[in-house]
Amino acid sequence: MAVFTGAGVAIVTPFKENGEVNYEKFGELIEDQIAGGTDAIIVCGTTGESSTLDHEEHLAVIKYCIEKVAGRIPVVAGTGSNCTETAVYLSTEAEKYGADALLLVTPYYNKATQNGLFKHYKTIADSVKIPCILYNVPSRTGCNIAPETVVRLCSEVENIVGVKEASGNISQIVKLMSIADGKVDLYSGNDDQIVPLLALGGIGVISVLSNVAPRQTHDICEKFFNGDVAGSCAEQLRAIPLCNALFCEVNPIPVKKALNLMGKEVGALRAPLTEMEEENAAKLEKAMKEYGIL
């Protein structure tokens, strides 16, 4: 059974002016997402600035999210690392807290071989009992999971159930689904490719867009699943200018700016990320107004 179907939000981590995690605001964001129809919350992913959270913060944010959601929708904890031992530690702790599943990014910087990736992921998955979703985002990690490796992992490791595909390489994803034999739960990792991946057999999206448009992102998926492919496609195409604006600088710089423009007060970014350039911020604000969320 799939961890979730539909739109899962890759939720931001709000910070106070002094740089600490702002749990009060985080709780408000979680409630807004659930009220907006989001199908799952993915905590401490790329959008949640996990790379600049220390281990204590990382686990505290996961624990808070699980407790706040209180079983209303699935919580998927980002616990990947470029160090297998660290990923095992974060993953086993998240499981203890009650995470419904784990999101495991490819090891960054190390650039493991495909055999190394298999061993890395199998070691993490074997340390827990909850489902694991692979996360392929080579533009950020410098490491690509080959389709054959994804299928091997989902076939040979019982609790590895699927992949968040953010490579943007449609041909690679077509190949993956052509050899998946129904064993891979496919989630889009790119908001501008939700409908194309659903058409290939995907079951949802792990979304940045959902931070600012939870209902609309949910509806893209729901319409498709209900057979309204034209309506789903229309919603996807309507969102493209906003998607482009949300990725005109590296994620999560624009989405945090967008939330602040909406009055959500999620705070600044942690270094080395910096505030959005004025020209790009103006483009983002324009796209948000045209989309109707500002």
* CA-wise closest residue to 10 among 40, 53, 34: 40
pLDDT digits 0-9 by tens, 142-154: 999 999 999 999 9
Longest dimension (CA), the chain: 50
The pLDDT of residue 77 is above 90: yes
Q: State whether residue 271 is helix, strand or coil.
A: coil
The pLDDT of residue 89 is above 90: yes
Q: DSSP assignment of 214-255, as one string?
A: HHHHHHHHHHHHTT-HHHHHHHHHHHHHHHHHHTSSSTTHHH
CA 212-210-166 angle, 5° bins: 130
Tell me how crowded residue 4 is: count the other CB atoms within 10 A of its CB: 24
pLDDT at position 47 is: 98
The pLDDT of residue 1 is above 90: no
DSSP, res 19: S
* CA-wise closest residue to 264 among 65, 37, 27: 27
CATH number of 6-226: 3.20.20.70
Q: Where are the domains of the chain?
A: 6-226
pLDDT digits 0-9 by tens, 25-72: 999 999 999 999 999 999 999 999 999 999 999 999 999 999 999 999
Q: Active site includes 97? A: no
The rounded mean pLDDT for the chain is 98
* CA-wise closest residue to 12 among 46, 57, 63: 46
The pLDDT of residue 277 is above 90: yes
| 44 Cβ contact list (under 8 Å, min separation 6) | 13, 50, 53, 58, 61, 62, 77, 78, 79
* CA-wise closest residue to 183 among 213, 156, 206: 156
Distance CA 130, CA 102 (A): 7
Can you read off the two tokens belonging to residue 257?
Answer: 């700016």
Q: Which of 164, 223, 257, 264 is catalytic?
A: 164
pLDDT at position 165 is: 98
pLDDT at position 70 is: 98
pLDDT at position 177 is: 98
pLDDT digits 0-9 by tens, 195-245: 999 999 999 999 999 999 999 999 999 999 999 999 999 999 999 999 999
Helices then strands (H, E): number in the chain?
A: 12, 8
Q: Active site includes 164? A: yes
| Matching residue, tokens 């994620």 | 251
pTM here?
0.98
Distance CA 243, CA 247 (A): 6
Q: Are strands 132-136 and 101-105 parallel, antiparallel or unpaired?
A: parallel
Q: What is the mean pLDDT of residues 78-107?
A: 98
* CA-wise closest residue to 114 among 136, 132, 83: 136
Q: Which amino acid is at 241?
A: P
**Confidence band, pLDDT 50/70/90 cuts, at residue 292:** very high
Q: DSSP assignment of 134-201, as one string?
A: EEE-HHHHS----HHHHHHHHHHSTTEEEEEE-S--HHHHHHHHHH-TT--EEEES-GGGHHHHHHTT
Measured CA distances, 285 to 14, 30, 172 (Å): 20, 23, 34
pLDDT digits 0-9 by tens, 256-266: 999 999 999 99
Can you read off the two tokens belonging to residue 35?
Answer: 């009220």
Q: Quick one: what percent of the chain has pLDDT higher than 70?
A: 100
Q: Which of 121, 135, 187, 291 is catalytic?
A: 135
